[in-house]
Copies of this chain bind each other. A is one copy, B any other.
Amino acid sequence: MTKLQSQGREPFEAVDRAPEAQADGFATVRQAHESEIAEDYVELIAELIETRGEARPVEIAERLGVKPPTVTKNISRLKAAGLVRREPYRAIFLTDAGQDLAEICRRRHRVVVAFLLSLGIDKETAERDAEGIEHHVSGTTLEAFERRLNQK
């Protein structure tokens, strides 16, 4: 666990943590990065299927701000991971696992955005920051956000 907080020289003193705990934290962040792409893709695919009727690479590329070959490559990885189902040159569908993941991500995304908005942050910033923050919000923290949202 963590040691006690130190003397309080500064307004918010750094919590002095055990090296392994700190290393674990960074490992968690690195792991989160690896799943971010999968999460962003399934989230976006679910969104596109809902709003557009289907998810096409060209649209995914546009929304993510990347080029089509990047999408092709990443979709293959998603397929290998069992998250999407698809034939070459056709639209992209989510497997059950993909849909479950999308559901979790979209819900988490909405909670984070709503929470930021509740702090008085403007929509554009809330969406922008949520995009990055959401992947690093643990279940515990997400619950805290929801608790705060409900008690308002």
Q: Say whether, besides A62-B19, A65-B26, A128-B138, A119 and B144 are in contact (CB < 8 Å).
A: yes
- Contact yes or no, A129 B141, CB < 8 A: yes
A33 at interface by CB-CB < 8 Å: yes
Q: Which residues of B contact A2 (CB under 8 A)?
A: 123-124, 127
A22 at interface by CB-CB < 8 Å: yes
Binds B, one of A71-79, A82-90, A91-99, A103-111: A103-111
Q: Contact check: which of B29, B59, B148 meets A131 at CB < 8 Å?
A: B29
- Contact yes or no, A63 B128, CB < 8 A: no
Q: Which residues of B contact A19 (CB under 8 A)?
A: 59, 62-63
Q: Contact check: which of B28, B120, B122, B133 meets A136 at CB < 8 Å?
A: B133
